[in-house]
Each structure stands twice: as C-alpha cells, then as structure tokens.
Amino acid sequence: MSIRCLFQPSALHWAWRTTALKSTLGRQQGVLRWTHSGGHSYRAVIFDMGGVLIPSPGTVAAEWEVQNHIPSGTILKALIRDGDSGPWMRFMRGEMTTEGFLEEFRRLCSEIAKTSVPVNSFFSLLTSEQVTKQFPVMTQAISQIRAEGLQTAVLTNNFYLSNGKSFLPLDRKQFDVVVESCSEGICKPDPRIYQLCLQRLGLQPSEAIFLDDLGQNLKAAASLGIHTIKVVQPEAAVKELEALLGLPLRVGIPNTRPVRKTMEIPEDALEKYLKGLLGTHDTGPMELLQFDHGQSNPTYYVRLADRQLVLRKKPPGTLLPSAHAIEREFKIMKALGNAGVPVPTVLDLCEDSSIIGTPFYLMEYCPGIIYKDPSLPGLEPSQRQAIYAAMNQVLCRIHSVDLQATGLDSFGKQGDYILRQVQTWTKQYRAAETSSIPAMERLIQWLPLHIPKQQRTTVVHGDFRLDNLIFHPEKAEVLAVLDWELSTLGDPFADVAYSCLVHYLPSSFPILRGFRDMDVTQLGIPTMEEYFRMYCLQMGIPPIENCNFYMAFSFFRVAAILQGVYKRSLTGQASSAIAKQSGKFPEFMAELAWDFAIKEGFRVFKEMPASKPLVRSYHAWAGSRPQRTPAGVRSSSTVAAASPSQETKGGLIISPEGLSPHVRKLYDRLLEFMKQNVYPLEPELQRHQASADRWSPSPLIEDLKEKAKAEGLWNLFLPLETDPEKKYGAGLTNVEYAHLCEVMGMSLYAPEIFNCSAPDTGNMELLVRYGTEEQKARWLVPLLEGRIRSCFAMTEPQVASSDASNIEASIREEDGSYVINGHKWWITGILDPRCKLCVFMGKTDPQAPRHQQQSIILVPMDTPGINVIRPLSVYGLEDPPGGHGEVRFKDVRVPKENIVLGPGRGFEIAQGRLGPGRIHHCMRLIGHSERALSLMKTRVMSRIAFGKPLVEHGTILADIARSRVDIEQARLLVLKAAHLMDVAGNKAAALEIAMIKMVAPSMAYQVIDRAIQAFGAAGLSNDYPLAPFLAWARALRFADGPDEVHRLTVAKMELRNHSRLQEPAAPRV
Ligand SMILES: Cc1cc2nc3c(=O)[nH]c(=O)nc-3n(C[C@H](O)[C@H](O)[C@H](O)COP(=O)(O)OP(=O)(O)OC[C@H]3O[C@@H](n4cnc5c(N)ncnc54)[C@H](O)[C@@H]3O)c2cc1C
C-alpha cells in the first residue's frame, strides 16, 4: 500500500493485501482439483471453538497481560492449575457461577503473579465482541463443507455467563450439532463428550475430522478413531482440511470487490490481449475483480483459465509527468526478481493506452499472509521475533542488490538522497501548507543542518512496512515485497527507519496502527535500536549512531505527505471523508519527528568533541575610560571564525568572535549603540528615576527606542525555536542572543531600549506560542512595536508562591465572562502608565487535579476592579516607572476569549514562559558582572593605598582572579544551556536551565560585591551602577523561583540519573 493512499478510507483496512503473485494456491488447486483424497469419505467436521473458530483464551490472555503489565503466563498457569478440579474446569462443566469463578480465579492469579490481578477485565475482554469474531477463513470453510453436503459440529469447552446463557459467540445455524461442556457437565478431553457429539451426528469416529488447538483434546479424539487436525493458524488448518476432504474451502479473493463503475476497464479488449500474451486458448469467462485499495494506481485481480493475475494501471485522467510511474514499478520489480529479491513475478508491461485506456502491467497473483497489525496479535513472542527478523533480512537483500549487474544504476540519482528528499518534501509541504506547524518549521531548519554523510547508495523501497510484505502462511518467510511506487536509489537507512515508525504510533492511531503503548520486549518485537543493530549486523557494517536522525527524517517525510493529502481533501480532490478530519495528523507526525531531532541533537551535543578554543580576550578592554563608562569592546585581534562544522554541527560558540557574520554585525552594532547612546545617558536616566516624575516614562528612553528600532536592534530576544519564520523577532538562536543579551546586561536601562526587557519578553513569547490570532493582534503587535508594556501576575502575599500550585486567586465563569478576584504582589511593571496588559494566573477549577486547576487569562489594565495598592522596593529601590506593585483584583470581569490556550492550562504555560525568561536573566547577570569587574579594575589601578595602587595588593588581585574565574564558569554554563536549547530543545535543557538559575545570581552577587568592596563606600552609592546591580542580583535569587526550588530540580534529576553511574557495592570486610 502506498503511503500516499493512507488516507483513502479503504486503505485504512488493507492495501492490495494479497495482490501478488506466484499462484501457490492456483498450483495446489490444479493438483487437487478437488478429488476426494485418500479414498476416505468423511461425513462431518467437528470444530473446537476457542483457538479454532475464534481466538483462544490463551492468546487473549497473553495480549491482555502485556497491556496490563501482568507477568506473562499468569492466566495460563491459573487456567491449568489443579487440572480437572481447578476452577477453570469446574466453571466449564457448569459447576460454578461466573461470580464464584471470578472470585476464585482472581485469588489464584494474584497468588501466581504475586500482585493483584484484575481478572474481571480479562474476562470482559475474553467475552467481548472485539475478540470473539469468528475467523473469516473458518466461516468460509464451514459454508463450503455444508454446501458439499457434509455435516458440521461445534464441540466446545465453554461456560455460563452471568445472564444465564452459555458463552457461544457463534452463529448456531452453521452447525448441525452443538455440544457445550457447561450444559453437558463434561469437558474435553473426557472421551464421553466426543462420543456424545458423534452420537448426535449419527456417525462413526472414522467418518469425522476434529479440529482443536490443544494437543490433549486431539489425543483423546484420535484415541477414539477420529481424524484430527491441530490448529496453529486457521489458514494453514483449513489448507490441511482441504487436502483431507479434497474440497476447495477457501473461495473468493480477499479484499476484492466487483469493479467500481468509475474504474471499469474494457474487458473484451483485455481478455483478447491476455489470451495473446499467455497463449491461452482455454475458454470460460474471464473473472475481473478490483482490489479494495489502490486508488493511486488502480489494481485488479484477473482470473483467466487457470491463471490468476494482478493488473496494475495508471489512474485515468491527466497526470503529473512523474506521478503514478507504473513503468518504474515494473522495471524495479523485474530487476529485483531476477536478482533473487522476493517480489511479485511481473509478466508484462503494456504501454499501449489503446488496450484498456492507460498503460498497465501484469504480475502473478500470490496468496499468503499480510499482517495488518504490526503488533502481530495472536502470535507467540518467538513468532513475532521471527517475522521481524525475516522483514529485516529481506530489507538487507534489497539493499545488497548489485546496481550495475541489475542495470539499476540509473534508477535514481546517486548520493545526497536525504538532502534531496528534505528539499523535495519541504517544497511539497510548502505547496500544501494550510497553517503554520511550529515543529515543521523547526525541522525545515534543522534537518538540512544535520544531514549525515551518505555511506552507501542502494535501491530504497521508500515505503517499507510490514503490511507491504506477503508472508508464507506457515513460516516466517517473506514471499513478496509489494508496492514499489516510491522506490528509487538512495540512503538505505531511510528504509530501516521507516520500518520503525510503527514503534512510535499508538495502537489507536487511525491511519497507521502502531504499538507505542505496548511493551515490545514482552511482545517479542525488536525495539527500534535493536532493529537497526540487527540490520547492521546482517549487512556486515558497523552499527550506526544517528538512527534518531533517520527517524526524524522519516516522520518529517510522512508529515509532509499527509499535509499534501489534507490539502487535497480541502480542495475536494480527494474522495475520503477521513482526509477531511485529518488536519491534525501532519502536526502529530511533525512533533514525533521533532522529538527525534531533539534526541539526535542531544546525542550530538553530548558526543561533541571540545570546540576549537576560540579566544575571548578579556585583557583588551579599551584602556582607561570614565568611571561610569563600562567596559568597551573586546579585542577582535584573536578572532577565530566559526568553522563550517561548528555551524552545521552546532558547535558551542563560546565567544562573540565565533558568531556568524550577520550576528557578529548585530553584536558590533549593539556595542557601538551602548557606547554612543546608553552609557552616556545613564546619569540622566538615573536622575529621572529619583525625580518626582519617576512614575512616568523617561522621554529619553522613548527616543532611544526609536533609534534602536531604526538600527535593527529590536526584539532580538525571540528565539528561532519559538518564531521559526522570523515573523516577530530577529530570528537569533539562544546562543546568539546570549552573547547580545550579555551586552544589554551591562546597563540596567538597556533591555527596555531594545524591547528586550522582562516581563514583556516572556509575555510576548507566551502570546507567540499560545495566543490566538485575535489575542496576537490586540496585544502582541503593540508589545512588539514597543507601544505598550505588560506585567505578569502570579505571586500572592498570602501563600508561598514558590509553589505555583498554591496560587489562590479565582477566575470564575459567570454569564459568559470570567470574573477575577485575587490579591497579588511583586508584579513587575504594573505601575508603568504604558502597562496595558496583565497576564494573570489564577484558578478556574480548584477541584481539578493539582496542575490543572490554574489558568492564564489576559486582563486589560483598564478593566474596572484593578486596584494597585503600593509600589514595593528592593533594598529601597523602587525601579520606576514600572516598579513592583501590590495589587488587588476585585470582581474584574473579562471576556471568555481572553483565556490563554483554555482553562486548566495555566501551569503548563507558566512553565513554558519561565524557561527562556530564566536564561535571559542569567545572560544579563553575566553582563552586570563583566561591567562590575571592569569598573573594579579601572578603580583599583588608579587608587593608591598604603603606598601603592590598590591593584598591587594581593587581596585585590585575588578578588579579580576569583571574579574572572566565577564569571567564566557561569558564562560557560549559561552558553551550554542556551546551546542545548538550540540543538535539543527547552525540555532537554531543563537541568541546565535550573543550574544556571542557581548559579548566575549568586555568582553575580559575589562579583559585584567584590567590586563594591574595592570601590570603598562609593560602591554603595548611586554614583555607580554597582549598588542597583547588587540589589537586582539578590532579587533574582527569588524572582522566577527561589534558588531552593532550582536546587530541588537539579537534585531530583541528579538522583534520577543515579542508576546510570552507580558505584559498585562496597566489598564486605
Ligand atoms: C524583584 C522581584 C520581581 C518579581 N516580579 C514578579 C512578577 O513580575 N510577577 C510575579 O508573579 N512574581 C514576581 N516576583 C515574585 C517571585 O516570583 C516570588 O518571590 C518567588 O516565586 C518566591 O515566592 P514567595 O516570595 O512567595 O516565597 P515563598 O514561596 O514564601 O518562599 C520563601 C522561601 O521558602 C524557601 N523555599 C521555597 N520552596 C522551597 C523548597 N522547595 N525547598 C526549600 N526551600 C524552599 C525559599 O528559601 C524561599 O525563598 C518578583 C520578586 C522579586 C524579588
């Protein structure tokens, strides 16, 4: 089945399931031609029920155990415990009620499993409609047997249900005789019950065949003289029965239907063509059916005389030149067939459209098993393992085909397969895009930067999945690989990864069933990693490390394909109703792809060799300068450009010199801007903050904002990850912004000038990530333009707000609005007259689970009921004009649509908001520290005490050295966190983010404190930025969560990783 067809409703069931070829059945039919064999004349077939007509309790139990994490084999052990006198046998003899049985059985199972076993759930499953469907092959066989005038019987060990009826989920009309253990009070293998059955059939034992899945039941029947067939697989058992009876029992071609009106082909012309081709003079009507699937390339079953064929053609109508290239399918299958790869045997390619209207090709029909469900229900773990091993093996065979010898060396381009695929699917995705999918945007950026070097070029199948393989009915052997529509030459690992997609899809996934929710090890299926290893071993190549890249690529490709299908469904070109509901699938696939990209990024990061030591030249701060002027430009004499590998592989850029030319230009422009415009104005800005006008914004700041905007130094903070299309920000990575943010951190006034200050940055990021288009238009746009400001209201005086789940403010739904009541404090920015938006956190449902009680809602600051009580101060600093306010919200009514993301999502949003915010704070703190150290160095070189410059005193030197080391350590950790956020995502960087939030404020506090000490009393004054820096560094040990909370996070993660590196147990002495 082509992946392109996934959305077609029929494809949800099965794609040309038994499409192919090599008519083993045909040949058998030819041999048997339904003569009675062995001279026997059987007159009845007796069927057991569970394991023969419907799945056996043992199989149902095994799967139920996997899903419910019950030790494997528990149920089976309990079923046979105490033999004849055990609860199961007594239940089946009708001696126990359902309730009584379940009680005793629960006790027994729990004793065996040494844990509580919910047997009721097993019993419900066992008797559910879901598992009691009669095997179609058996239904077909029974009706054929009866059509031939033979009798049928069911002889079952069964039980009474609590409604008083016996458990017999079969159509009784199929049987001449029904013998049930619960009503007879006798169970198999007791010979009496077989005799009873024979008696009711009116037959001798030798006139009957008995089918059962249990050896002991068969043995008992055989000892009476009944012929027996052991049922392992219904299909194989029916084949055996056919041989014994000499009757065809499997009629009809699975998954076919009469040809659809719109898909009719001229039968006479086809028949004439086939007779010519096959040299068949045999008469008899040609039989033509259509496979349910194959809308992409319509596929037909054709029977002519004793030949069974499959015809595959192009669809009618105008086609894109490269689409539906059945000629390519024919070519590859022919070449591979000759090279010994199991493919359907192709017979003929007819490119003459005059015969049936379009070109077509023919292959032989091949019956066999196609496993629809990749979890292989009903099989033993060892069988599953063998099936997957066979699948892996056949893939190796495909990838080992000699391209030159088979003439396939021009079947596709050689080399750069993945890159070309990424480009192709990106283009196709763009053409079909209906709305922005963030994960897709990230992948479009990320994939080209991480393309592995292609080691080999082989035939690639392009859609290699279990359900495109026909298996031998009795052994784990692939008879044919189907659907070569997407085949080409390429990187073989793409096929390996593609076959593992099902490992990560849920079993309920509507378009492609997976088994992510099952324990593959218990099932016996190799994990993705094992499957890759198995492949490498079989191919004789070293194991690969970047399988996560290939998984990311495969999911990306599927996402792009599904987006195309969805788009077509919207424009009405696809017929499937399901397609219309499927807008979410591309995003789902893209997110899975991004999860793998994160894993790959994390692996690359961890394995990255130490970067080339790029030099940061600290000693080159531009000579002595006025004391209020901060450290200037770092020397660029030691610039080492980032090597291409650092850029592509995501090497850590530890110095601004390593930034790309574009970002480096921004960095230099920013330094210059600070030097020319910010530092000189600091005294004036500080005077404004101490004046009576302090609660109004300084006009100087407003002027500088315009200037910064004009120079492109605006909204630099929004990370590429949140804003992949650079719709809102400068599109910098976190590492790039880290270097720039540090420069902004040199002045407390700078961040606002560049529209990069908290809490606006966090609020803007929140709106970009989670806001609706209306919310963005109303709030995000003016914030991005710097026309308004905002605040974030979470902390409350009456509860310990370190634990956000404590927050008590209420957000109550009333008459189509939300009504807010609460008391908040430390709300930064709320006093600013430009503050128009309050991002408010409160509880919408105090009864919900702990982390789903809170919601975040957008509150316009001019809503009645908001009362700012007072500004709070940090060590006496009020931080005007934004300040940090205490505020009451009384019956504040806001429209319902102001809720962000929906009720109960507050916790999740707050977490998402704080991650990037934390790292920005830390970057700025590095800036504070650098400036403090620079001021200190200038000061101690010019002041003399006890006969020499302060700088010559050992304690001062020690302090300078200590500060340099402290800053350096913290910066590296901050950059590591930023880098990890870029290559592996915010989630993967959670530990590093918590660590820097622990480290940076304390480090900055100490560096600034040493600078203050070196300054003498002047350091405490407002003449220098040191005192406010110190206050801010101290405050940041609380803001965004106190140190202790971050320590807790780090410790918890550390302990979680403990098992990885456990010390060996101490030897006993
Ligand atoms: C300058 C500044 C600006 C701020 N801006 C904002 C803002 O804009 N919006 C906003 O909503 N809030 C803001 N805050 C508030 C800040 O987020 C909170 O102060 C912080 O979350 C701590 O909450 P709390 O003050 O209620 O302390 P509590 O929760 O009462 O905690 C007190 C102390 O208990 C200890 N503690 C807490 N948890 C643990 C633990 N797990 N293990 C060990 N010890 C623990 C810590 O020592 C902690 O400092 C700001 C704070 C400051 C100082």
Give the H/E segment covering residue 792.
Answer: strand 789-793
Q: Which two tokens stand for residue 752?
A: 């606002």
pLDDT of residue 608: 56
DSSP conformational letter for 211: E
**Ligand 1 pocket, mutate which of 763, 789, 792, 795 (most atoms under 8 A from CB):** 795
Mean of the pLDDT values across residues 735-761? 96
Could you give phi then psi for residue 813, rounded to 5 degrees? -80, 130
Task: Give the separation between CA 483 and CA 344, rounded to whole angstroms.
Answer: 10
Residue 602, burial from CB neighbour count under 10 angstroms (0-12, 13-18, 19+): middle
**Ligand 1 pocket, mutate which of 757, 794, 801, 998 (most atoms under 8 A from CB):** 801
Which of helix, strand or coil describes residue 591?
A: helix
Give the pLDDT band of residue 283 (cuts 50, 70, 90).
low
Q: Is 793 near ligand 1, meaning CB less than 6 Å away?
A: yes
DSSP code string of 232-297? SSHHHHHHHHHHHHT-----S-TTEESPPGGG---HHHHHHHHHHHHT----SPPEEEEES--SSS
Q: Is 102 near ligand 1, meaning CB less than 6 Å away?
A: no
Q: Which of 339-348, 371-380, 553-562 has the lowest mean pLDDT?
A: 371-380
pLDDT score of 642 more than 50 = no
pLDDT of residue 657: 84
pLDDT score of 691 more than 90 = yes
Task: Give the separation between CA 561 and CA 580, rounded to whole angstroms.
Answer: 15
Protein residue closest via CA to atom 1 of ligand 1 = 1035
Task: Give the separation between CA 52 and CA 54, rounded to whole angstroms.
Answer: 6
pLDDT (tens digit per residue) in 58-116: 889 988 998 888 999 999 999 999 888 999 999 999 999 999 999 999 999 999 999 99
The backbone region for 827, taken as left when phi is positive above 0, alpha when psi lies in -120 to 50, beta otherwise, is beta
Q: Which is the closest atom of ligand 1 to the Cα of 793?
A: 11
Q: Is 792 near ligand 1, meaning CB less than 6 Å away?
A: yes
Q: Is 582 near ligand 1, meaning CB less than 6 Å away?
A: no
pLDDT of residue 610: 43
Give the pLDDT band of residue 723 (cuts 50, 70, 90).
confident
The residue among 34 and 785 whose pLDDT is bigger is 785
**Cβ–Cβ under 8 Å, residues 837 and 848:** no
Secondary structure string (H, E, C) spanning 91-159 = HHCCCCCHHHHHHHHHHHHHHHHCCCCCHHHHHHHHCCCCCCCCCHHHHHHHHHHHHCCCEEEEEECCC
Q: Is 1035 near ligand 1, meaning CB less than 6 Å away?
A: yes
Q: Is 795 near ligand 1, meaning CB less than 6 Å away?
A: yes
Mean of the pLDDT values across residues 569-591? 73
pLDDT of residue 259: 84
pLDDT score of 5 more than 50 = no
Give the pLDDT band of residue 615 (cuts 50, 70, 90).
very low
Which of helix, strand or coil describes residue 1040?
A: coil
Mean of the pLDDT values across residues 721-726? 76
Q: Is 1045 near ligand 1, meaning CB less than 6 Å away?
A: yes
What b/e string do you get for 191-216 counting C-beta neighbours within 10 Å, with b at 16 or more?
eebbebbbeebebebebbbbbbbbee
pLDDT score of 137 more than 90 = no
Q: Where are the alpha helices (DSSP H) in 12-56?
A: 24-32
Protein residue closest via CA to atom 28 of ligand 1 = 800
pLDDT of residue 813: 95
Q: Which of 181-195, 363-377, 618-632, 1047-1061 has the lowest mean pLDDT?
A: 618-632
What b/e string do you get for 871-884 counting C-beta neighbours within 10 Å, with b at 16 or more?
bbebeebbbbbbbb
pLDDT of residue 507: 86
pLDDT of residue 318: 64
Give the list of residues 6+ apart from residue 810 with CB closer than 8 angstroms, or none: 820, 821, 822, 842, 843, 846
Q: What percent of the chain has pLDDT over 90?
A: 66
Ligand 1 centre distance from Cα of residue 733 (Å):
29
Query: Measured between alpha carbons, how far is residue 41 from residues 208, 230, 242, 245 in Å?
Result: 9, 20, 13, 8
Give the H/E segment covering residue 16.
Answer: none
Ligand 1 centre distance from Cα of residue 1039 (Å):
6
Give the pLDDT band of residue 647 (cuts 50, 70, 90).
very low
Ligand 1 centre distance from Cα of residue 1047 (Å):
14
pLDDT of residue 736: 93
pLDDT of residue 758: 92
* Chain-centre distance for alpha carbon 373: 20
Q: Is 874 near ligand 1, meaning CB less than 6 Å away?
A: yes
Q: Is 520 near ligand 1, meaning CB less than 6 Å away?
A: no
Sign of CA pseudo-dihedral 895, 897, 902, 908: negative
pLDDT of residue 579: 55
Q: Which two tokens stand for residue 672?
A: 């210059």
**Cβ–Cβ under 8 Å, residues 584 and 434:** no
pLDDT of residue 725: 76
Give the pLDDT band of residue 565 (cuts 50, 70, 90).
confident
Give the pLDDT band of residue 34 (cuts 50, 70, 90).
very low
pLDDT of residue 673: 97
Ligand 1 centre distance from Cα of residue 117 (Å):
46
pLDDT of residue 1037: 95
pLDDT score of 779 more than 90 = yes
DSSP code string of 734-757? HHHHHHHHHHHTTSTTHHHHTT--
pLDDT (tens digit per residue) in 477-487: 999 999 898 99
pLDDT of residue 1027: 97
Across the chain, what does the average pLDDT equal? 86
Q: Which is the closest atom of ligand 1 to the Cα of 804?
A: 21
pLDDT of residue 509: 84
pLDDT of residue 627: 36
**Cβ–Cβ under 8 Å, residues 169 and 138:** no
pLDDT score of 10 more than 70 = no
pLDDT (tens digit per residue) in 82-95: 888 999 999 999 99
Q: Is 314 near ligand 1, meaning CB less than 6 Å away?
A: no
The residue among 26 and 490 whose pLDDT is bigger is 490
Ligand 1 centre distance from Cα of residue 814 (Å):
31
Q: Which of 8-12, 296-300, 705-709, 754-758 has the lowest mean pLDDT?
A: 8-12
pLDDT (tens digit per residue) in 524-557: 999 999 999 999 999 999 999 899 999 999 999 9
Ligand 1 centre distance from Cα of residue 897 (Å):
30
Q: What percent of the chain has pLDDT over 70?
A: 88
